[in-house]
Amino acid sequence: MDERLLATPCTIVSVGAGTADVYGDATESTTSTDTVCHYRQLSASELEGKAVEVTQWRVYLPGTVSLVGTDRLTINNDSYTLAGDPYPVRRPTTGLIDHLEVLVERAQ
C-alpha cells in the first residue's frame, strides 16, 4: 500500500478488563495509541422503523500497529467498532506485513 494514503489521523482504543467496581462488577480499562489510516465507506443502512443508521467502513492501517478484534478506532471524533479481526496483508516480494485491513461499523 502506498504510505501516502495513510494520511488521516486515528486512534486505536485498546479495551481490556479493569478493576472491579464497588459492587464487584468488572470494569473496562482502555489505552489509546495514535496512528494514521485511510478509510472508505462500504455501505450504509437504516434499521427499519428506527432512526438508527449503521455504516460499514474498510480501514487501512500501517503494518506495524497492534490491533485485535475487541479494539475500537476513533477517526475524526467518530468511534468505530471492529466487525471482525484485522487482516494482515503481506507484501509478496518480502513476506513482511505491509499493512492491516479491518472492517469497522459505526451506529448513529
pLDDT at 76: 94
- H helix intervals, 1-108: none
Q: Which domains does the chain have, with CATH numbers?
A: 3-107 (2.40.10.370)
pLDDT at 17: 73
* Short-list 100, 31, 15, 103, CA closest to 60: 100
**CA 3 to CA 8: how far, in whole Å?**
11
For 53-88, how does the pLDDT look when each residue is reduced to its tens digit (9 = 90+)? Answer: 888 999 999 999 999 888 999 999 999 999 989 999
The C-alpha cell 489509546 sits at: 32
Whether this model's pTM surpasses 0.95: no
